[in-house]
Structure 1
């Protein structure tokens, strides 16, 4: 289309209001962008009928001068592990390749209620078990920075991150269990935000790890992230784990109006770890210096159980995977083996053998091993106890010892690896490496955000992470906005 399309939700809604742009035209533009960027393999299933229907409704609201909704006419994309009624929801697995839910995920329903336009479903690692978006029946997702160089997008929400970074949509929804939104956000140069556990409903999110899965947000700016959060957060009687109190919309000041005078920033020494690249370390220290130079108090803190966190996360992840994957037996829904002459037991076994990839099967086997009666106390119970210690570490720095406002860390240890190098390690080793800085926030249930800072010498994004106390979204996003405003990173 001839008219210029803005890059943010805020500017897009403004252009709608003054009738300079129409939601139908913008929707068609985004569908066209996806079609032209098939090589990226970010959106694995376009939903043009839903998109055009919703954008038409939005267009009529603007035309008739009706009350405008928070996301009216805004194209969004959703990771393919969130249920959309009547649309295939595959989790990028053969097991659910032809599964069509009969209900909507709460996150999706709330987005639609606020006028959003679904462009499509995005790629992921199978059942969200990965950190590269390379283990998918639809193939891997390419990073839109130097796409011909073969760099990974990060994962498991790599499809949503690339969809936002490439301009296919204005916001992406992903799930973050150990960093699955913040990791690809870091590699793709966009904002990736994991709210406090329980602030956003998990109803309709096909579960990986119930105690850590968090519906999360990918956008190009902090302001856009706030807009989406305000649309999807709040209690849900369909999810007993949501926080049972009304959600009050967050409002973040303009960047030049934010004062850091009363902000105390903690720098956890344990995150200066093996594998942290020189450029990632320099980026981390640069932001710490900027915060201190502009009025924040920056202090060294300790999260002593950080080194144990990735091992505890791995054990608990695989135990819950073993439990959650037990529902896929080929009887009620999903893939079913065609060997009808076998016994019921053989049918279960062959269905699961055919339907799951090797990564999923390995996690199921490991989880079942940890849950054996003879191993239960040694692995599962001990992991739960150490998880409590990890959570206590965060409580100590936020409320007891240093009483910091936020923690500042790297998001990932390096910029995006090349695909050929990434796949040389097995999935378990890659997740242990890629999730080192991100999964502790899931273990503790606290909010965390990845903010793009600069490009590396390879021309790839480098980011930092902020973590705050539970339900500190207002202050966390405010500090994030100050950083964004100061560094002025511009995505592709």
Structure 2
């Protein structure tokens, strides 16, 4: 699909209709050669068609709520939708009561006239960066479909829904990289907002401290529009920033270790192009992040908080969990109160140090992931799963732990293995980060069309 603003213009000038866009999205979902069956856990056909026809009627009468009214979007199976059961990618919750109201951020998109297509697949309970789901199947990355590559997680279906034209916008959540890893692996843009800006009411939690709902879309501008509508704290209008005014810190510490050759090449080419276009690109270092594996050796904040959510359910229904997820959640049971207090203390100190280090540049820049999407069969091997999952999460988790806003942009060769370029700023600088990312995208970004 086109960008949100391109679709809005087509709608407003009569070149298309919401019903046509919904029919187009449904055709992509139903394509037997596509990934629709594994991307969506529920498709709300009747609801989407009815909403599309309503938006077309409102627009014909000059009463469309926003320029984007009538555009299809998808939502991860963590978000409550009135009348539906939120299963969080699990079988365990399938018989629970249906939600009585929409998640607040989803309600805000619907109030703007966006048309919800349905619930997208995800790693069970959002606890993995690779995107596997043994209960409902795993949607394949857009790259090398014949082999079958991981889509990234945990918001796997949200990213694939956008990449494959099943929706113009996908809404996911990001706790350790779940809006950026799938974006990188599917050549779309994924955004992790400053935690706390976008309301989490009606969102099934993984980690109250780290969770942040965020968008997937074709461009930085699209993500900015969705972010503004969900957060309701800025206009979403990106301020133009000349590349020549930017000083970008190319973070080297840890995040550039053990890069796949094509990731390193794409990163080098992108940084070179930005420098040639006038940006000041300087090497940046931040030694404290090398402590992250040790700080989080027992699972850290996410494991402790996930266990507090799941301990009762696992006691009665543990065998129904994805056993890899069960193991990760269960690790939270061995973290003592003193240990988790110490993790929070060290995190607070590291956040202060990192934000001070970032003060010398406009943004840190780094590869979103050090690797291309692994083969699904490779990750499905129990011996490989843990190390490969941690590799996918390594760079993105830096942003969550250091309390930043962060964005992943597709770079590299459009027909090659997908690569993401991640930009990161201290929390609270979302509008500024969108401005910087837009300038970077214009110079080095690729668009999955």
TM-score range, shorter chain: over 0.9
Which residue of 1 is the match for residue 349 of structure 2?
A: 389
1:21 Cα offset (Å) = 0.9
Aligned CA distance change for structure 1 residues 258 and 274 (closer, same or farther; 3 Å): closer
Q: Deviations over 1:224-265 (max 9, x none)?
A: 11111121113xxxxxxxxxxxx1213125xxx641233221
Q: Give the 3-state SS of the residue equivalent to 2:245 in structure 1.
A: coil
Corresponding residue SS for 1:452: strand
1:218 partnered with 2:244: no
The answer (yes or no) to whether the contact 1:42–1:158 under 8 Å persists in 2 is yes
Mapping for residues 24-63 of structure 1, pairs under 5 Å = 24-37=19-32, 39-40=34-35, 41-63=38-60
Structure 2 partner of 1:319: 304
Q: Which moved more, 1:166-175 or 1:308-317?
A: 308-317
Return closer, same or farther for 1:105/1:176 CA change in 2, 3 Å cut-off.
same
Relative to 1, partners in 2 of residues 1:358 and 1:141: Cα closer, same or farther, differing over 3 Å?
same
Q: Residue in 2 aligned with 1:355?
A: 320
Structure 1 regions of 5+ residues with no counterpart?
Answer: 1-5, 235-246, 330-348
Are residues 1:193 and 2:191 paired? yes
Q: CA RMSD for the aligned pairs?
A: 1.9
Change (3 A) 1:37 1:487: farther
* Cα displacement string for residues 25-65 of structure 1 (whole angstroms, at most 9, x for unaligned residues): 21122112101157521112101122112111210111112
Partner of 1:231: 229
Q: 1:119 to 1:468 in 2, by over 3 A?
A: same
Distance in 2, Cα, partners of 1:427 & 1:105: 32
1:485 aligns with one of 432, 442, 447: 442
Q: 1:448 aligned to 406, 420, 443, which one?
A: 406
Q: Which segment drifts farther, 49-58 or 287-296?
A: 287-296
Equivalent residue number for residue 19 of structure 1: 14
1:74 matched to 2:34: no
| TM-score normalised over the length of structure 1 | 0.86
Q: What is the match of residue 429 of structure 2?
A: 472
CA distance in structure 2 between the aligned counterparts of 1:13 and 1:405, rounded to whole angstroms: 32
Change (3 A) 1:177 1:441: same
In structure 1, C-alpha distance between the alignment counterparts of 2:133 and 2:350, rounded to whole Å: 30
Q: Is the 8 A contact 1:165 1:190 kept in 2?
A: yes
SS of equivalent residue, structure 2 residue 411: strand
| Runs (4+) off by over 4 Å | none
Task: Look up the SS of the partner of 1:436 in the other structure.
Answer: helix
Q: In 2, distance between residues paired with 1:302 and 1:55? A: 50
Match of 2:176 in 1: 178
1:94 match: secondary structure = coil
Match of 2:243 in 1: 260
Of residues 30-39 and 15-24 in structure 1, the stretch that sits farther from structure 2 once superposed is 30-39
Alpha-carbon separation, structure 2, partners of 1:263 and 1:118: 38
Listed one character per residue, the Cα deviations across residues 374-430 of structure 1 (whole Å, up to 9, x for unaligned) are xx43x323322321233123212123xxx2110000000111111122223454433
Residues 130 and 427, structure 1, Cα contact 8 Å, conserved in 2: no
1:432: which partner in 2?
390
Aligned length: 443
Whether contact under 8 Å (2:185, 2:419) holds in the other structure is yes
Provide closer, same or farther for how the CA distance between residues 37 and 154 of structure 1 changes in structure 2, counting only shifts above 3 A: farther
Inter-partner Cα distance in structure 2 for 1:84 and 1:101: 6
Query: In terms of Rg, which structure is larger?
Result: 1
Residue 113 and residue 290 in structure 1: after superposition, are their counterparts in 2 closer, same or farther (change >3 A)?
Answer: same
Q: Which residue, out of 7, 11, 27, partners 2:2?
A: 7
8 Å CA contact retained: 1:310, 1:436: no
The gaps in structure 2 that reach 5 residues or longer are none
Distance 2:126 2:439 in 1: 32
Which residue in the other structure is 1:368 paired with?
333
Q: What is the rounded CA distance, in whole Å, between the counterparts of 1:274 and 1:262 in structure 2? A: 29
